[in-house]
A = this chain, B = another copy of it.
C-alpha cells in the first residue's frame, strides 16, 4: 500500500511552507539515538521510514529520514532533550489516524513514534480510574476495561489504530461525547515531556485535585506542540448492561431539532448518541457501498442510541419516545433494536458515510461546529452556490455536540472549485459563531484558517505559551499556530 505512496507529492510542494532553521540529522545523532534506544529502535531505511512520512488520508507526505521508537518516558525525555540541545525538530506520532496532517513530518523532522509505550499501568476497578502509557491503542484499552465492567469514555471510528496519547493530544471527541463528556473532563492526570526534556508528572488519579494550575490541559488538544504526552490517567464509566439503537425517518431539519429536544427529555440519562444524516449522506452509503437501509427513504435520518443499566426500562423509555413522536408526526417511520447485529447494521450505515464517496471523485470534507439553530444552514447554501459543479453535497453528524460533517463531492480537484469553497465555508461558520474544526484539530492543514474561530488576542496568548514551553520551536513545527 505504501509502495504507491512513493509517488505522492511532498506536502511542501502542495502547501507553501518554508523549512525553518533547524539542524539536520547527522550520523553522530543517529549513533546517539542508537546508544540510548538500541539499533532496532532507530529506523533509517527508506522503506521503514516511508509509512511514518504519510498521513492516513494520503494528503500529506513529509521527508523524515529517521524514526525513533522509545519504550518509556525516560527514553522520550533523553531524545527530546538531545533534539532541543541540537536544535533538531521533532514530530511526535501516535496511531497516525489524524485528518489534518498533524501527525506526519513536513520536512525532515525526527519522527518520535510513541507506539512502544504501550503498557497498562493500573486500573482501580472501584473508582474506574485507568492509568496507561500513551501508545496504548484505544480499542485495546476498551477491551481491557470492558472485561472489568467499565468502558473507555470515548469512542471513534479509528479506535482500532489510534492511541490514547494521540487522543489526549488532539482532544479527540467522537460518537458519545454527548453522554460521557470531553477529554478535558475525563482525563484526570497526564505525564508529559517538555521541549527541554523535563518530565511533568501530573499523573494523579484523583477526580478532585485543586492544588495549583491545572497543567494537564496544556497538553490536551495542543497536538504535540507544547509537550509529548507519555502517560494518562483516565476516568472510565460503568459498562452499560443494555444498549438500544433507534433509526428514524424525519421530514425536515426542524423536525430533527425538535426530536433532539424531545429525546433529551424522554430519554434523559440513558441517551448516549443522537446522530443525524440527510438523505444524500445515507444514500451515499447505500448506493456506493451497497449497504442496506432498514427503513424507507426520507429527507433526514436520526440515529438514537441508549446506554443503560436495565434493558426493560430502557426499551420502555425508547418505545414510549417512539410512540409519542410517531403520533406527533416528528418521526415518520422508524425501527428500534437491541440485537447486536441489527444495531451494527445501523451504525455501519452511519459510520460509512465518511468514506462512501471517495471513489466518485474528489471530496472536500469539513468538520465544523455550528449552533443548533443554524446547524444545517451551510448544506443548502453550498448546494445553491456550487450548483452542478458539485456531484453531491451532504451533511451528517453529532447533533448532541452541535458538530456537523459536510462533504462536497466534485468530479476532480481543481483550484477553481477549491477557491469557491474555501474560505467561504470558514467565513460562514465564523459568521454563525461556530468552530471551523470541531474534532479534527488544526494540524498542518488549517493554521491559516484558525483566525475564523479564534480572535487575535487569543492567538497571541497561544504564541506566548508556545514560546514559553518550547522556545526553540522544535515540537511539531509548522502545525497549529499560523505564522504572525
Contact = CB atoms under 8 A, between A and B. Distances in A.
Interface of A: 124-128, 149, 170-171, 173, 177-178, 181-182, 184-186, 194, 198-202, 204-215, 217-218, 220-222, 226, 238, 240-241, 257, 260-261, 264-270, 307-310, 313, 316-317, 369, 371-373, 398, 400-403, 433-442, 446, 450, 453-455, 457-459, 461-462, 464-465, 468, 480-481
A454 B211 contact: yes
A439 B186 CA distance: 17
A321 to B, nearest CB: 10
A101 to B, nearest CB: 14
Contacts of A462: 212-213, 215
Given A208-B435, A212-B481, A265-B309, 8 more contacts: A201-B457, A202-B454, A205-B433, A207-B369, A208-B401, A210-B221, A210-B440, A213-B218
B212 A480 contact: yes
A405 B200 CA distance: 28
B266 A309 contact: yes
A469 B209 CA distance: 22
A396 to B, nearest CB: 15
Nearest to A180: B181
A436 B215 CA distance: 17
Contacts of A267: 309
B309 A217 contact: no
Given A200-B458, A212-B454, A181 B173 contact: no
A269 B308 contact: yes
Contacts of A372: 124, 126-127
A310 B308 contact: no
A462 to B, nearest CB: 5
B270 A207 contact: no
Contacts of A260: 126
Contacts of A369: 206-209
A211 B171 contact: no
A402 B208 contact: yes
A128 B372 CA distance: 11
Nearest to A468: B468
Contacts of A220: 214
Nearest to A313: B313
Contact of A468 (B126, B266, B438, B465): B465
A205 B371 contact: yes
A268 B238 CA distance: 7
B435 A209 contact: yes
Contact of A269 (B127, B128, B178, B307): B307
Given A173-B208, A209-B453, A124 B371 contact: yes
Contacts of A461: 194, 200, 215
Nearest to A403: B208
A401 B215 CA distance: 20
A313 B267 CA distance: 12
Contacts of A402: 127, 205-208
Which of A127, A205, A217 has most B Cβ within 10 Å?
A127
Contacts of A439: 208, 210
A175 to B, nearest CB: 12
B217 A184 contact: yes
A210 B433 contact: no
Contact of A438 (B210, B435, B440): B210
Contacts of A240: 268-269
A260 B173 CA distance: 29
Which of A181, A211, A480 has most B Cβ within 10 Å?
A211
Identify the 10 closest CB pairs spanning chains A and B, nearest first.
Answer: A185-B185, A268-B309, A217-B217, A209-B435, A206-B369, A208-B438, A211-B453, A313-B313, A269-B269, A207-B401
A213 B257 CA distance: 31
B465 A211 contact: no
